[in-house]
Structure 1
Amino acid sequence: MKRKTFLRAAMAVGLSSTLLCGALHAAPVAEHAQFEVAKHYTLGGTDGWDYVGYDPVRHHLFISRASHVQVVDTDTGRLVGEIENTDGVHGFAFVQDQKLGFITNGRADTITVVDLGTLRTVDTIKAGGPDPDGIMYALNLKRLYVSNGHDNSVSAIDPATRKVVATMPVGGKPESLAVDNDGRIFVNVEDKGEIVAMDGKANKVLAHWSIAPCEGPSGLAIDTKAERLFTVCANNRMMVIDARSGHQVAQLPIGGHPDAAAFDPALKTAFSSNGADGTLTVVHEDDADHYTVLQNVPTQVGAKSMALDDATHRVYLVSSKFGSAPAATADNPHPHASVVPDTFNVLVAQRKPQSAGN
């Protein structure tokens, strides 16, 4: 995922929702659970961040912090470990039957393998291409899939042997991934405005689907039962795509600079974490072809990434307060705003308690 200046991205917020017609319903808010940010856990530090990942077995939240990973106990908010030597860390995948976590390191072109119980590094894998970024474990295929950001490809890795077994060209910069029940892999291609569908069994590309007018698709989630993909776009849209045909089902208004999407199957709810304006967009799936924006929950500017615990219906986000950006230079023409020390925190969004009689 990209690390952009949130203040620059915030200037792009404000696209009128009237432009986004699709299959958008008026929101019957009272019928559905309402979300709020209920907790904050302060971690500190001045490093930036990218993906966050959730280990549901141990209730651990993994947070990428530039060259190391912070691991937080989500029951207590306590920092329980740090994983070092993850240069340019991006994403996380968890292989529970082997008790292993896999971490992509974009600058090192490697994947760190950690014991999920001890958080110790047990191996380092050479990635299938430069700048490994998004990563996903497909349980039904027993394969990891990694987006190689500078190679325009997606690699499949056998977690048992820790070897790259295939690499598929996708024609552009790949981002987040998803998998359906039949072993088809999907990836957002950020610079092409596409979703590429792949056969995870045969390791071949099946289709390139344009998702215009979506620009810069980043986060991707799937409802495997309804066969719907949810992709979030830099131009303030969530696109709902038929995972069988690539047909566009709906467009929905979201906040600026989204960088992650998630879907809660029990609540039939999709989420978009929007860093530019500090909101969490909550979208209800009324049926496979109709969707309702329920809320834009206030979070914090910079909270672009998230992880969902679909057992508790909690969404974990991270952000900080920002200082001024350094002066632009030839080597760094778009410097990031600085992170204010000791303000980096985890935000926990969850359902509001229902009042008596509801």
Structure 2
Amino acid sequence: MRPALLTACAALALAAVTGAAASAQGPGPMRVAGHTDLPGYAGDFDHFAVDGADNRLFLAGEDGGVLEVFNLKTGAFLKSVPGFEAPHSLIYLPDAHELVVVAAKGSRVLNARTLAVKRTLKLAPGADSLAYDAPRRRAYVVTGGKDVKMTTSALVEIDPYTGKSYGQTVFDGDHTEALALETHGDRIFINQTDKNLLDVVDKRTHAIKARWPVTAAEQNAPIAYDEASHRLFVVTRKPGKLLVVDADSGRTVQEFEAPARVDQVLWDPTGRRVFVCGGDGRLSVIEQDDADHYRELAPVATPPAAKTCVYVPAMRRLYLAASPGETKSMAQLVWVDVPARR
């Protein structure tokens, strides 16, 4: 159904585009290493999961209703698993060799090796963004919202191993998009995108502990968290900005221009870098000097709508999903080699 890897010519062409963009803005610390074409796919992708033990990379094909599976080391396409309704977010559970697929309707848990369905999860319609608290074995899933014609949304706590629900937080808006949580604390940080609010939720009691207005720009959506320095990385879409936010006060520490149509921002604690995956053909990279000081590196040229990503620290590789969407460009899995921090 899909061809395997890119040809040598295609790889060189993509590298040349990246090199030209980097040289125009100074030497960049990264390079595009390759991509896999997915010519049979239309629409948007969503998020990734990594199975390092079995050398596989999973990608939610949101608009295609499929789960795409790749070789983690080479990026080669392996197979598509159809039958999902708007899959959005994934969790790989290594101890059980299970893959949780959170979808707008019909969320389920698969055997990660055979990809057979093991059980379903009873989630409200509109299940989308999530964060996984591995030490407590709990997932926090956003449900409801405008995509399923609801005027409210909720953050639901579940045990992904059993499907048991442990309560929820209800929000009075229809667009609650992304969240980040503490592993050594009780806070969840979640964006109410339609209200330009950053809410702080207690992950055990589900109470809203604080509500911080986002005033630098509108439509705050993707978020990542550096728990060591208590800094949040919040991306807005109108216009595109990256805000470095003090997680204890809500104060904006520093801000940068960000790419347009960003669907994901990642924090790499080893390299102390922020990756902002944009839909306008560039990957923005920010380096942290200390909690209050950050530097923007040369952007990496990427295909159109490469707006979701996952970082694999053991390989020092960043994978991005380039969605055809409205651009009607080629669907691709793209990977970027990330050098060690000097």
TM-score by length of 2: 0.83
- Distance in 1 between the 2:235 and 2:316 partners? 20
Aligned equivalent of 1:226: 229
The verdict on how the C-alpha distance between 1:117 and 1:297 changes in structure 2, with shifts beyond 3 A counting, is same
The verdict on how the C-alpha distance between 1:59 and 1:179 changes in structure 2, with shifts beyond 3 A counting, is farther
The verdict on how the C-alpha distance between 1:243 and 1:353 changes in structure 2, with shifts beyond 3 A counting, is closer
Structure 1 residue 256 displacement after superposition: 1.1
| Mapped contact 1:54–1:309 kept (Cα < 8 A) | no
Pairing 1:248–2:252 present:
yes
- Distance in 2 between the 1:96 and 1:51 partners? 21
1:73 to 66, 71, 74: 71
Please state which structure has a larger fraction of its residues in helix: 2
Give unpaired runs (5+ residues) of structure 1: 1-28, 323-335
Structure 1 residue 352 displacement after superposition: 5.7
- Distance in 2 between the 1:311 and 1:225 partners? 20
| Mapped contact 2:286–2:297 kept (Cα < 8 A) | yes
Aligned residue-pair number: 306
| Mapped contact 1:95–1:137 kept (Cα < 8 A) | no
Pairing 1:295–2:298 present:
yes
| Mapped contact 2:271–2:340 kept (Cα < 8 A) | no
Coordinate RMSD, CA, aligned: 2.3
| Mapped contact 2:235–2:262 kept (Cα < 8 A) | yes
Secondary structure, counterpart of 2:95 in structure 1: helix
Aligned equivalent of 1:135: 130
1:188 to 182, 188, 191: 191
Deviation track 1:281-325 (CA, whole Å, cap 9, x = no partner) reads 0001110011111121100111111111123221111225x6xxx
Structure 1 residue 94 displacement after superposition: 2.2
The verdict on how the C-alpha distance between 1:49 and 1:184 changes in structure 2, with shifts beyond 3 A counting, is same
Aligned equivalent of 1:42: 37
Secondary structure, counterpart of 1:161 in structure 2: coil
The verdict on how the C-alpha distance between 1:59 and 1:252 changes in structure 2, with shifts beyond 3 A counting, is farther
Aligned equivalent of 2:177: 175
> Residues 92-111 of structure 1 correspond to what in structure 2 (within 5 A)?
92-106=90-104, 108=105, 110-111=106-107
- Distance in 2 between the 1:294 and 1:159 partners? 38
Deviation track 1:153-184 (CA, whole Å, cap 9, x = no partner) reads 11011123212221111332221221112132
Structure 1 residue 35 displacement after superposition: 1.1
Pairing 1:312–2:322 present:
no
Counterpart of 2:157, as a letter, is A
Structure 1 residue 353 displacement after superposition: 9.4
- Distance in 2 between the 1:313 and 1:194 partners? 33
Deviation track 1:9-55 (CA, whole Å, cap 9, x = no partner) reads xxxxxxxxxxxxxxxxxxxx88xx70111111122223222322131
Aligned equivalent of 1:264: 268
The verdict on how the C-alpha distance between 1:92 and 1:301 changes in structure 2, with shifts beyond 3 A counting, is same
- Distance in 1 between the 2:144 and 2:278 partners? 22
The verdict on how the C-alpha distance between 1:251 and 1:135 changes in structure 2, with shifts beyond 3 A counting, is same
Relative contact order, CA 8 A, sep 6+: which one is greater?
1
Counterpart of 2:206, as a letter, is N
Deviation track 1:185-220 (CA, whole Å, cap 9, x = no partner) reads 121221111221111122222111112223212221
Deviation track 1:103-155 (CA, whole Å, cap 9, x = no partner) reads 1211x2x322112222222111121x321111221113220010114142110
Aligned equivalent of 1:345: 332
The verdict on how the C-alpha distance between 1:206 and 1:98 changes in structure 2, with shifts beyond 3 A counting, is farther
The verdict on how the C-alpha distance between 1:223 and 1:81 changes in structure 2, with shifts beyond 3 A counting, is same
Structure 1 residue 338 displacement after superposition: 6.3
Aligned equivalent of 1:53: 48
Counterpart of 1:345, as a letter, is Q
- Distance in 2 between the 1:195 and 1:310 partners? 28
- Distance in 2 between the 1:63 and 1:89 partners? 9
